[in-house]
Amino acid sequence: MNDANVSPVIALAQALIQRQSVTPEDANCQSLMNQRLQKLGFNIEKHFFVDTLNTWARKGHSQPHFCFAGHTDVVPVGDEAAWQYPPFSGTIENGMLHGRGAADMKGSLAAMVIATERFVQKHPDHKGSISYLITSDEEGPFINGTTKVVDLLEARGEKIDMCLVGEPSSRNVLGDVVKNGRRGSLTAHLTVKGKQGHVAYPHLATNPIHKVAPFISALTETVWDNGNDYFPATSLQVSNIAGGTGAGNVVPGDVYVQFNFRFSTQVTADELKSRVHNLLSNFALEYDIEWIVNGLPFLTEPGPLLDVTLDAIKEVTGIQSTPETSGGTSDGRFIAQTGCKVIELGPLNATIHQMDECVSTDDLDKLALIYERILEKLLT
């Protein structure tokens, strides 16, 4: 439902939530945003790759170039009957806006647009450029979204200097955490080979489970690095193991092991791969392995973007924010690889991807004020 007394930020957030944009669908969310941006003088480009709609919108041609980045797609709602309020209703109750995407991240998108409208109306001749990079596949395979638009911009030499991603970064109160970097993610799909046979005749078989066990032990006990001032030490987790035919009297012919590194800037993906291959050789394993680099680590050190963001949060909320690099990956990793400074700032993440996802209406209004102050500090 819509409430005629709600602020412009909340009204736009409700309108976005009411569009059922389950990944990779956009459900006209970007059109709704683009109509408003176009009125402000933004040039709108729509880029559709395979199943994903992306928007590149830019106002101005000079530096510094500041970009808002985000996604209109949301994760599936699951059992709709289990929600307190219909997941695409945008219901407001007791100061909370309910619905899928309220926190991740349609509330942030609404705050961005309203902040931009207010800023441009107050400062029509602002310096530099403002842009929007919006995708509908961040919650999906992230193949045809932000990374493709970044490739397009790189190919034509269009550079972003600073980027704010509206991911829900806050932990306990709005603005208490700003993400100024993310760890890299590297996944291994390992198949260790043996020889199938009867368990009663082990001399005629080679059990790959027995052979891989000491390797896994060594893998999990290895210290990969000690982290640094901005990142914790690189971590490794074994996430899946599969082997055997299901029969109790058969030695399996192979075993599959999946493991993932979350790594800091102290080590590269190639270095991690090399050390794993050395371990595999040390245990004389016959194997196949497939590596997938899900994202490289990035870091925005103290400087204009981070300093301005921390100041804006303090001015609006009165709290001193903490920069962190914890958590998973985001589309910021694609933008950061171009040399752009990237931060993530959004509402509380307590209910994201859950049933009854919700966000404080007061927090969204304050978030728009923070975004507006960042624009003023950087572009006036």
Show the tokens assigned to 41.
Answer: 């003088």
Q: In this structure, how many other beta carbons lie within 10 angstroms of the beta carbon of residue 317? A: 19
End-to-end CA distance of the chain: 38
| pLDDT recorded at residue 2 | 45
Is 1 contained in some domain?
Answer: no
In angstroms, the Cα distances linking 368 to 9, 93, 131, 266, 364 are 7, 20, 16, 35, 6
CA-CA distance, 319 to 276, in Å (whole number)? 44
Q: Is 104 annotated as a binding residue?
A: yes
CATH code of the domain in which 263 resides: 3.30.70.360
Backbone φ and ψ for 367, nearest 5 degrees, come out as -60, -40
Q: CA geometry: angle at 38 spanning 34 and 41, to 5°?
A: 145
CA-CA distance, 151 to 178, in Å (whole number)? 26
12 and 90 co-located in one domain: yes
CATH code of the domain in which 161 resides: 3.40.630.10
What 3-state class would DSSP assign to 193? Answer: strand
161 and 190 co-located in one domain: no
| pLDDT recorded at residue 362 | 98
Is 63 contained in some domain?
Answer: yes
144 and 269 co-located in one domain: no
Strand partners, 98: 358
What 3-state class would DSSP assign to 314? Answer: helix
Question: Which residues of the chain have a pLDDT value below 50?
Answer: 1-2
- What is the maximum span of the chain, computed from C-alpha positions, in angstroms? 83
Is 2 contained in some domain?
Answer: no
263-295 b/e (C-beta count within 10 Å ≥ 16 → b): bbbbbebeebbeebeebbeebebebeeeeeebb
32 and 117 co-located in one domain: yes
Q: Is 344 annotated as a binding residue?
A: no
78 and 131 co-located in one domain: yes
CA-CA distance, 3 to 94, in Å (whole number)? 13
Q: Is 167 annotated as a binding residue?
A: yes
All residues at 6 or more sequence positions from 97 whose CB lies less than 8 Å from its CB, including other chains: 10, 13, 14, 17, 90, 91, 107, 358, 359, 360, 361, 364
229 and 344 co-located in one domain: no
Structurally, how many domains does the chain consist of?
2
75 and 105 co-located in one domain: yes
CA-CA distance, 310 to 290, in Å (whole number)? 41
Residues annotated as catalytic (active site), given as ranges: 73, 138
Is 225 contained in some domain?
Answer: yes
CA-CA distance, 328 to 344, in Å (whole number)? 12
Domain termination residue (choose one: 252, 277, 294): 294
CA-CA distance, 356 to 363, in Å (whole number)? 17
Q: Is 353 annotated as a binding residue?
A: yes
Is 3 contained in some domain?
Answer: no
Domain termination residue (choose one: 252, 267, 294): 294
Task: Write out the DSSP string of 316-337.
Answer: HH----EEE--S---THHHHHT
| pLDDT recorded at residue 291 | 98
285 and 310 co-located in one domain: no
317 and 352 co-located in one domain: yes
Domain termination residue (choose one: 237, 266, 294): 294
pTM over 0.85: yes
Show the tokens assigned to 151.
Answer: 């490739």
CB 311 within 8 A of CB 377: yes
65 and 109 co-located in one domain: yes
Nearest Cα neighbor of 334 from 283, 289, 298 is 298
271 and 151 co-located in one domain: no
Show the tokens assigned to 369.
Answer: 């004020």
| pLDDT recorded at residue 3 | 56
CA-CA distance, 135 to 145, in Å (whole number)? 5
All residues at 6 or more sequence positions from 20 whose CB lies less than 8 Å from its CB, including other chains: 27, 88
66 and 142 co-located in one domain: yes
CB 295 within 8 A of CB 182: yes
Q: Which domain holds residue 249?
A: 184-294
Strand partners, 298: 182
